[in-house]
Structure 1
Amino acid sequence: MSEMPSPDISSARPADDRSGSHHVTLIQFARWPELGKVKTRLAPALGEEGALKAHMQLTATVLTSLAGTELPLQFWWDRALEPVPEPARHLVKALNQRAVVQRVQKGEGLGARMNDAFERTLARYRKAIIVGSDCPSVDGDYVRDAVAALDHADVVIGPSDDGGYVLLGARRVAEGMLDDIEWGSPQVLEQTCQRLDSVGLTFSLLEPRWDVDEIEDWQRFLAMPV
């Protein structure tokens, strides 16, 4: 296979769509595909190579679901290196073919990176919604519910069964809104709601969905109808 060029993330800019037909943009957060660094809780059962392949399969599934909404879509890597590793080349090719803006997350910790993504995106759009690449249960209807919820609340959260969330959207942000969250713990949702209350932001909760962390989640994903 010939090597795909690295995505030109630094020069990418989202179109200013605040006055257009779309007033919301979707953001897919993704880990850079590196052996031994992604879906590590699946590695005991699948091996490191299997965990990396699972990561890429989940990422592609979420991308397909979000692209199917026909809303503006951006893809934010947690970092970007050259050259593009073999497992990611097909995905990068798909992103380039779809003309999806690719950017790099900035900030120390997940909360800071999401807050930065919201701030940068809300400068151009009225609403922004972030979905993780291990959340295949987020479909088009769920995204549309989140968009509608932001008509009445500053923030929308799609809770996950494990105490975190599969989706986070905002139309307004505040300093510290995602500070002091114990990411990866069962308290993520509760702590986030407390933080939003403390900074004066209203929020709406969608029905719970699930993400893929453990091998049982992966098996549930494999059993999903195609």
Structure 2
Amino acid sequence: MSQTRIIVFAKAPLPGQVKTRLIPALGPEGAARLARKMLLSTLERSLAAGLGPVELCMSPGPTDPAWQGLPLPPGLTLSDQGDGNLGERMARAAERGLAQAPRVLLTGTDCPALTPARLRAAAEQLHRHDMVIHPALDGGYVLLGLTRFSPRLFADIPWSTAQVAPLTLSRIDELGWSLHRAEPLSDIDEPGDLDRLSAHWCSS
């Protein structure tokens, strides 16, 4: 069994409910359009990596009308993030994923720089390390890869702060697991981040 399972976390791209920190720059509709493009691009890149199953872990769940009309690519596995804070939802997905595959890559939809080549490189590092992380420039992370599970990695983390990656790294040290730290990448959360995108991303 050599597959790597990619689990993509995403909210339904509804105006006023996604990319809220970008609303001052793009408006609710523009922020939702960007979220939709980034979601679909992330899924296409994840499938193009050719590593194994790609799971879209959805909020709300896949049967909710919020997802109607979204042209999801074929070949995905769909799941419900369920209740709880982000750490609790990620922990459930990671534990479930590792019951189905020897390696799991967890990611969101905010990093266009997470190319198929980078996804394949992260999966390759999991042949030699327990974990791999792509930190984000803002102090979070855009990808976390695992071959082992501990709820400690996701508990009591102040999500959406600059402490996410440092605390996660300290937890990995506590567990004594081997880690490959990949290059930091940009995610797109704040109006200033839009300068890193080409014009077509924010067009209608």
Give the deviation of 1:65 after TM superposition. 1.1
Corresponding residue SS for 2:101: coil
How far 1:223 sits from its partner (Å)? Answer: 4.9
The match for 2:35 is 55
The answer to whether the 8 Å contact 1:42/1:51 transfers is yes
- Max Rg structure: 1
Q: Any idea what SS the aligned residue of 2:195 has?
A: helix
Listed as ranges, the gaps of 5+ residues in structure 2 are: none
Q: Does 1:80 align with 2:61?
A: yes
Structure 1 residue 81: Cα displacement: 6.9
Change in Cα spacing, 1:157 to 1:30, as seen in structure 2 (3 Å) is same
Residue deviations 1:13-35 (CA, integer Å, cap 9, x gap): xxxxxx3xx42111111012232
Count how many residue pairs are aligned between Structure 1 and Structure 2: 200
Give the distance between the partners of 1:102 and 1:111, measured in 2 at CA: 19
Taking the aligned partners of 1:204 and 1:196, their CA distance within structure 2 comes to: 11
Single out whichever of 194-203 and 50-59 deviates more from structure 2.
Answer: 194-203
Give the superposition deviation at 1:68: 1.0
Aligned pairs for 1:164-179 (under 5 A) are 164-179=140-155
Distance 1:201 1:160 in 2: 21
1:35 partnered with 2:15: yes
- Matched with 2:187 is 211
Q: What is the letter of the counterpart of residue 58 of structure 1?
A: M
Matched residue, 1:14: none
2:4 paired residue among 16, 24, 27 = 24
Q: Report the structure, 1 or 2, having the larger helix content.
A: 2
Q: Deviations over 1:113-172 (max 9, x none)?
A: 111111101111000101111111100111111111111221111111111111011000
Which residue of structure 2 lines up, in the alignment, with residue 143 of structure 1? 119
Tell me the TM-score normalized by structure 1. 0.81
- Higher deviation after alignment, 123-132 or 147-156: 147-156
- Taking only aligned residues, the RMSD between alpha carbons, in angstroms, comes to 2.0
Q: Which runs of 4+ in 1 moved over 4 A?
A: none
CA distance in 2, matches of 1:49, 1:223: 16
Q: State how far apart, in whole Å, the 1-side matches of 2:54 and 2:72 are.
A: 13
Aligned to 2:26: 46
* C-alpha contact 1:178 1:195 (8 A) present in aligned 2: no
* Identity across matched positions, percent: 34
Instruction: Give the secondary structure class of the aligned counterpart of 1:76.
Output: strand
CA distance, structure 2, for counterparts of residue 115 and residue 28 of structure 1: 13
State the TM-score, normalizing by the size of structure 2.
0.89
Residues 78 and 193 (structure 1), Cα distance of their counterparts in 2 relative to 1, 3 Å cut: same
The AA in structure 2 aligned to 1:126 is P
In the aligned structure 2, how far is the partner of 1:224 from the partner of 1:53? Answer: 11
Q: Does 1:94 align with 2:72?
A: yes
Q: Give the equivalent residue in structure 2 for 1:10.
A: none
Displacement of 1:190: 0.4
**Structure 1 equivalent of residue 47 of structure 2:** 67
Distance in 2, Cα, partners of 1:125 & 1:209: 26
Distance 1:201 1:107, change over 3 A: farther
Q: Structure 1 47/175 Cα, relative in aligned 2: closer, same or farther at 3 Å? A: closer
Whichever residue aligns with residue 94 of structure 1, its letter is L
Partner of 2:156: 180
